[in-house]
Amino acid sequence: MAFIPFKGAKIALLFQGLLIAYQRDQKPEIPFPGMWDLPGGGREDDESPVECAIRETREEFDIAVDPAWIVWTLIRHRIRPPLEVTSLLASSKRVSGL
């Protein structure tokens, strides 16, 4: 896979037919405080979008996602001032830790 510059990634996880989501903290200094969100977060070092989403999911939720369980991905890059966003959307058919 070619290198794709990005800052973070999110992943849609389904568990027993339900979407795993969480409500963000109410801290005014973070983006979108109090909003509902998918697991994921900021990129570390040279990890891929999938590696980023899997690591963040493990760190934040103690949920393990095997890359083989991911059934599709979509990477989008868009510039909508003042934001420049590259997104990974991925769906996993299985999760471990729940």
Class of residue 43 by CB neighbours under 10 A (exposed 0-12, middle 13-18, buried 19+)? buried
Model pTM?
0.74
Mean pLDDT in residue range 42-46 = 88
Residue type, 68: A
Mean pLDDT in residue range 35-45 = 90
List pLDDT tens digits, range 53-98.
899 999 999 998 888 888 777 776 666 655 555 555 556 655 666 5
Q: Measure the CA–CA gap between 2 and 57, rounded to whole angstroms.
A: 23
Average model confidence (pLDDT) across the chain = 79
